[in-house]
Amino acid sequence: MQKRFMCIWFRHLLTDWLAIRHPELKDTAFVIAAPERGRMIITAASLPAEQQGIHTGMTVADARAVSTNLKVFDAEEGKAAKLLRMLGLRCIRYSPIVAIDLPAGLMIDITGCAHLWGGERAYLKEIILKLRAKGFDARGAIADTVGAAWAVARFGKVSPIIAGNAQASAISSMPPAALRLEAEVQELLRKLGLNTIGSFMQMPASVLRRRFGNSILTRLRQALGFEDERIIPLVPPVMHQERLPCLEPIKTATGIEIAIQQLLAQLCSQLQSEGRGIRKAILKCYRVDGKMVQAGISTNRGSYSVSHLFNLFGLQISKIEPALGIELFILEAPKVEEIDPLQEQLWANKPGLQDNSLAELLDKLAGKVGANAISRYLPVEHYWPERSVRRAATLQEPLPTNWRANRLRPVRLLARPETIEVMALIPDYPPKIFIYRNKRHTIQKADGPERIEREWWLDQGEHRDYYTVEDTDGCRYWLFRSGHFDSDGTQWYIHGFFA
């Protein structure tokens, strides 16, 4: 697929932002200035100020001589980057790859996106009109290369949409500044009478390099499409993604359900052809008011079952606030996994962890009580009980080692042993009485000790002597003593509870 790019230029980015925040400035001549070598230099001027002859780079003193009622505001460092980031994040609804182009532009990779809005012309019109409706004086252009789109957005006078492989003719009549060249190179070109790109476009590369350096060759080749230009997206794009723009804003739960079903059908069809299934999916809903709301689901095993995934999203629909309406739905699958169709068929009617019905049941429970409330644990080869298990990443992850079944272990194991107070101690015996969380327990039965040594290659310290004890209420606990009975600083702990 032929790459296509859009560049957007905000002609009065900073002054537009001030006018949006302070509507009384809309038709007023004002500038933004910053100190430079003891003088206040204008860094941005509003359109009414420019119409009076005031421009960027002029001193404030000279500007006041032109306009006696000129308003001056102090420049805020880094403000342009913040505004472009905000605007770029808003444009992600139109394409997953949006990059900032300082000091006053955005670069967007629109490959494969324009058809969702009825073609490139409608696509460009949609974006530019939305930005202008917000109060920004924006211009945009579309071309095969970033360089050509950048040039046409700023210097183009005819169509803002350049047909495929037509960038050479589109930029040939433009000044060298359209190639984003350094000021020194532009000045040298002007002195030599090379006032348009076409005047030096066909010159031998060796001549251009010798007279003007490598930058002019790089920019020229990038604009003509002979060299790729990399753009760094604001947000790393998700590989598996589907988009659904709406002709009319969606305000009802039924409309949201229809959108989810359509997106899932498209995404699951793509993943099924790749032999993959969804482990995590995020639905992003872009509203008319410019805000984005989202809902997410996760599964215990990869799935491309539209009905199952839709049921999981059904639990989240009530959390989506459509407000004035949703104009764009984006479904992303940031986490997928390989699925073996033969294995799926083999286990279709078998009970156990590989059973699809069990996985789907766990997914539904996770959607109601939260994914963190359900866990699967696997054994790990460690002596210390709290180190001997770990949380499984997936439902299908195989056992790294067998569970140890020759020793009795509590049903509930504390993540960290908790200290207890003990009384009536006898050497190498459990205590007769212990106090845990201000409750006194009298032990009537006990079994042990079971000595568990510390892993000397990991850390140093005392061993543990574990006892299984039962109090007068019939409750059973797992206690241990750290170190020998007669050692200094001997401490008792509770580590688990039996059924």
Residue 355: per-residue pLDDT: 57
Q: Which of 291, 288, 327, 293 is nearest to 133 (CA)?
A: 288
In the structure, how many helices (H) and strands (E) does the chain have? 15, 20
What is the gyration radius of the CA atoms in the chain, in angstroms?
34
And the tokens for 204?
Answer: 């031998």
Q: What three-state secondary structure class fits 433?
A: strand
10 contacts 88 by C-beta, under 8 angstroms: no
And the tokens for 148?
Answer: 């050509």
On the 0-12 / 13-18 / 19+ scale of CB atoms within 10 A, 215 is: middle
Residue 59: per-residue pLDDT: 94
DSSP state of 295: E
Domains of the chain: 1-229 (3.40.1170.60), 241-366 (3.30.1490.100), 412-497 (no CATH)
Phi, psi of 176 (to 5 degrees): -55, -25
Residue 325: per-residue pLDDT: 93
Distance CA 264, CA 244 (A): 11
302 contacts 279 by C-beta, under 8 angstroms: yes
> Which residue carries 């010159």 as its tokens?
203
Phi, psi of 45 (to 5 degrees): -130, 140
Q: What is the pLDDT of residues 443-496, one digit of tens each?
A: 999 998 999 988 888 888 888 999 999 999 999 999 999 988 775 667 899 999
280 contacts 355 by C-beta, under 8 angstroms: no
Q: What three-state secondary structure class fits 85?
A: helix
Characterize 393-404 residue by residue with b for buried, 16 or more Cβ atoms within 10 angstroms of its Cβ, and e for exposed. Answer: eebbeeeeeeee
pLDDT tens-digit profile, the chain (499 residues): 789 999 999 999 999 999 999 999 988 999 999 999 889 999 999 999 999 999 999 999 999 999 888 999 999 999 999 999 999 998 988 999 999 999 999 999 999 899 888 899 999 999 999 999 999 999 999 999 999 999 999 999 888 999 999 999 999 999 999 999 999 999 999 999 999 999 999 999 999 999 999 999 999 999 999 999 999 999 888 889 999 988 889 999 999 999 999 999 999 999 999 989 999 999 999 998 888 999 999 888 888 889 889 989 988 888 899 989 999 999 999 999 888 654 444 334 444 555 567 677 777 777 776 767 777 788 888 888 988 888 887 767 778 888 877 788 898 989 899 999 998 778 878 899 999 999 999 999 999 899 998 888 888 888 899 999 999 999 999 999 998 877 566 789 999 999 8
Which residues 6+ apart lie within 8 Å of 90 measured at CB? 290
What angle do helix axes 306-314 and 356-369 make, rounded to 10 degrees? Answer: 20
Angle at alpha carbon of residue 265, lines to 262 and 266, rounded to 5°: 90
Distance CA 499, CA 496 (A): 10
Distance CA 5, CA 123 (A): 12
Q: Which of 308, 306, 326 is nearest to 253 (CA)?
A: 326
And the tokens for 382?
Answer: 């460690």
Note the pTM of the prediction, 2 decimals: 0.68
Residues composing the chain:
499
What angle do helix axes 79-91 and 13-21 make, rounded to 10 degrees? Answer: 80
